[in-house]
Structure 1
Amino acid sequence: MKELIETIVKPLVDFPEDVLVNVAEESDRITYKLNVNKSDMGKVIGKQGRVAKAIRTVVYAAGSTQQKKVFLEIVE
């Protein structure tokens, strides 16, 4: 899943080397925390959050096979 997020986000940003995905796993959920360069934040979020919503939709669909709930946070 971490590789999927990186594959989606890296082509969108100007600084792909700054893309970092951290995983926090709890008993009933898995949270992926996406960090990007501050200047790329707008590209990842998109107008009215459309790009972020699309990324979350793909990640949630891919994570639906797991027993735990999947969340994606975009961290500044």
Structure 2
Amino acid sequence: MADTESQDVRLPDEMPSDRVADLVELVVCGLVDDIDAVSLDVTDAMEGTLIEVTCAPDDAGKVIGRRGRTIKAIRTLARALGARVGTAVDVEVLG
């Protein structure tokens, strides 16, 4: 029987934060109407990774959600994956 645990496969030039950014981009693009306006700026530092999400002004509210619930959930997912790949993560929406 084959081992069903996932392998940590990473390209040589890929940073751990790239996997987290891919997850954030996937979730954000699923929420917004104007997918072409979505861009991520990933800044890696010694203390962790900052992912700044830029989107159309009309879509910023969808990404943030009522009382910030949606962005809080996105941050929770990003931080959980960040902990798994070994980096602290913070996500900000620039709208």
| Global fold match (TM > 0.5) | yes
Who is 1:20 aligned against? 39
RMSD between superposed Cα atoms in Å: 1.1
Higher helix share: 1
Gaps of 5+ in 2: 1-19
1:61 equivalent to 2:92? Answer: no
Larger Rg: 2
Partners of 1:60 and 1:69 in 2: how far apart? 7
Letter in 2 for 1:48: R
Q: Deviations over 1:10-44 (max 9, x none)?
A: 11111011111111111121111111111101100
2:65 maps to which of 29, 37, 46: 46
Higher strand share: 1
* Residue 66 of structure 1, CA deviation: 3.7
* Number of residue pairs aligned between Structure 1 and Structure 2: 76
